[in-house]
């Protein structure tokens, strides 16, 4: 029971901070609210006994990717006067697009909401590093290796792009 | 919910908090005394005998200074920046095992606030978010020197996190666990990781220096290029929190190095003791190890000149990461041979 109350509080805080990402005018504040949102999502993972997922979410998203976001935004020197005024048409069309996406998501999740009542962990050890590692290296070893090859390919691509630029300067 | 456990953990948290702050305060005193000793000076000697009340005088001075917020600064972020810096440097202490179990009032008290089975990952999560305090504070000041300091700090921390993570993976592979308690218990007696992984230790130590923004990696607050770096615009206790968080981070990272490489609270001949005697001795031994590392941190600061920024990046990406990776590979092969994976080929 108390678990449910905690999850409701955390869930509403997650939604509130996610809304603040969109609603705050300043891009830097948006990024900071996004970091806060990731923290709340991690806390929900912990409630579901997925400690490893929670901590990796913080390391990768809140720690690495958002720092790069902040890095870029700080160098751009955005302020209120530099922001271009968007016309009514742009605003209206973005509203319609976002609303449409929202409808699709709601329609897709319509049935799953009923199922989510039984999310409470049946097995204590289900989210631990050990069970996750066992699964990743036995049942899901092929997808795991394929995705790591994808990562390496992306990294090699990035290095190549950086290298080519240097040769032009020379 | 066990009320006894709640009280016990709350008391432990309070004690660790006070100890961290106290040690951070007296680190400033020892840093000055040590600098004076290395440079053949006297150092602070006015406040109290041997100047021992100097940190308190500094603290009072910090609190009484005018608290100034620049006109064009982002006020909200300007205030929150030092808070985040202090918060992130304090919360790491939650996972540190300070000693063996203590028995008090008929209860067995574990001298550790939380024993996750993902302890070391928590450490890296906190490390990766600790850059926000400096970044947000530096940007919100609306000063180009602060911004340069913040950008230097974040790029330096991101770069050195990688080598640090790889060298930590080596230790995880040796111990077979992510929990700090298990890592410490694996090094029972004199069976310390530093004897198996000296290269890994050196890499991890250099990265800790960089992560805590200590000299020779203190480019973010390099005063002859950037005035005060990211805290140029800060005054009063906000500046105090930034300086304080650096010292707290130094204390905590000394503790982490002691846990990962010097066996934490383990000491040779610990099997001759048991119960509360062992607990007290183990805590004392652990703190001696921490103080040795704090001394080395300070010794390095007053001996080695600062890097240039390109040298710092070169060291991080082209020296430390390859060395750590090769070390990881060799460790993996040795572990595989010991486990008997290649027996059919030999």
Architecture of domain A1-80: Up-down Bundle (1.20)
Residue stretches of chain B with pLDDT short of 50: none
B168 touches chain A (CB under 8 A): no
Quote the pLDDT of residue A165.
59
Q: How far apart are CA B22 and CA A131, in angstroms?
A: 41
Domain borders along chain A are 1-80, 87-124
CB pair distance less than 8 Å for B118 and A52: yes
**Nearest-CA distance from A128 to chain B in Å?**
8
In chain A, what residues touch B127 (CB-CB under 8 Å)? 63
Closest by Cβ to B125, choosing from A58, A75, A130: A58
Is this complex's ipTM strictly greater than 0.90? Answer: no
* Residue A168: band (very low, low, confident or very high) from pLDDT cuts 50, 70, 90: low
First to last CA, chain B: 56
Per-residue pLDDT tens over the stretch A74-104: 777 665 555 666 778 888 998 999 999 999 9
Pairing, β B102-104 against β B107-109: antiparallel
User: Do B324 and B172 touch, CB atoms closer than 8 A?
Assistant: no
Structure-block tokens of residue B264:
């934490």
Per-residue pLDDT tens over the stretch B189-199: 777 888 888 88
**Nearest-CA distance from A74 to chain B in Å?**
7
Q: How far apart are CA B290 and CA B282, in angstroms?
A: 12
Per-residue pLDDT tens over the stretch B269-284: 777 777 778 888 888 8
Quote the pLDDT of residue B104.
73
Quote the pLDDT of residue A96.
94
Quote the pLDDT of residue A148.
92
CB pair distance less than 8 Å for A28 and B77: yes
As a whole number, the mean pLDDT across chain B is: 83
CB pair distance less than 8 Å for B158 and A64: yes
Determine the residue among B77, B129, B142 to mutate to test chain A binding: the one whose Cβ has the most chain A Cβ atoms within 10 Å.
Answer: B129
The reported pTM is 0.84
A105 pLDDT more than 60: yes
Quote the pLDDT of residue B130.
84
CB pair distance less than 8 Å for A29 and B178: no
Quote the pLDDT of residue A79.
59
Interface size between A and B, measured as CB pairs under 8 A? 64
């Amino acid at each position: 029971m108390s678990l449910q109350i905690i999850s409701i509080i955390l869930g509403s805080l997650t939604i509130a901070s996610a809304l603040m990402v969109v609603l705050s005018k300043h891009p830097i504040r948006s990024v900071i609210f996004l970091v806060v949102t990731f923290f709340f999502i991690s806390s929900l993972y912990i409630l579901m006994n997925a400690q490893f997922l929670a901590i990796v979410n913080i390391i990768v998203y809140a720690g690495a990717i958002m720092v790069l976001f902040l890095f870029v935004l700080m160098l751009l020197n955005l302020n209120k006067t530099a922001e271009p005024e968007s016309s009514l048409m742009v605003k209206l069309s973005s509203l319609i697009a976002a609303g449409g996406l929202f409808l699709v998501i709601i329609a897709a999740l319509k049935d799953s909401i009923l199922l989510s009542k039984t999310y409470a962990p049946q097995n204590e050890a289900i989210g631990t590093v050990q069970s996750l590692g066992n699964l990743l290296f036995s049942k899901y070893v092929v997808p795991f290796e394929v995705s790591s090859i994808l990562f390496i390919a992306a990294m090699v691509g990035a290095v190549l792009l950086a290298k080519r630029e240097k040769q032009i300067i020379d | 919910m066990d009320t006894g456990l709640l009280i016990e953990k709350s008391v432990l948290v309070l004690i660790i908090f006070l100890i961290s702050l106290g040690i951070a305060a007296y680190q400033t005193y020892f840093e000055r005394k040590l600098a004076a000793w290395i440079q053949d000076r006297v150092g602070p000697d006015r406040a109290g005998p041997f100047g021992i009340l100097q940190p308190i005088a500094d603290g009072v001075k910090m609190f009484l200074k005018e608290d100034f917020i620049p006109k064009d600064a982002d006020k909200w972020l300007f205030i929150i920046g030092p808070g985040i810096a202090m918060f992130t440097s304090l919360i790491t202490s939650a996972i540190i095992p300070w000693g063996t179990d203590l028995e008090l009032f008929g209860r067995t008290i574990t001298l550790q606030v939380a024993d996750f089975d993902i302890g070391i990952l928590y450490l890296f999560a906190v490390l990766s978010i600790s850059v926000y305090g400096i970044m947000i504070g530096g940007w919100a000041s609306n000063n180009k020197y602060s911004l340069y300091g913040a950008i230097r700090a974040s790029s330096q921390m991101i770069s050195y996190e990688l080598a640090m993570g790889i060298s930590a993976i080596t230790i995880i592979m040796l111990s077979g666990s992510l929990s700090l308690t298990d890592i410490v218990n694996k090094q029972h007696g004199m069976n310390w990781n530093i004897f198996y992984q000296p290269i890994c230790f050196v890499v991890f130590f250099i990265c800790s220096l960089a992560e805590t923004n200590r000299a020779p990696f203190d480019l973010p607050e390099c005063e002859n290029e950037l005035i005060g770096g990211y805290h140029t615009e800060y005054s009063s206790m906000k500046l105090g929190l930034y300086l304080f968080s650096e010292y707290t981070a130094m204390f905590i990272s000394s503790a982490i190095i002691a846990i990962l490489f010097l066996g934490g609270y383990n000491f040779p001949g610990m099997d001759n003791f048991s119960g509360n005697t062992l607990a007290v001795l183990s805590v004392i031994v652990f703190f001696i190890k921490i103080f040795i590392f704090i001394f080395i941190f300070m010794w390095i600061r007053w001996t080695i000149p600062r890097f240039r920024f390109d040298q710092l990046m070169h060291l991080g990406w082209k020296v430390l990461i390859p060395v750590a990776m090769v070390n990881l590979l060799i460790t993996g092969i040795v572990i595989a041979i010991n486990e008997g994976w290649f027996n059919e080929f030999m």
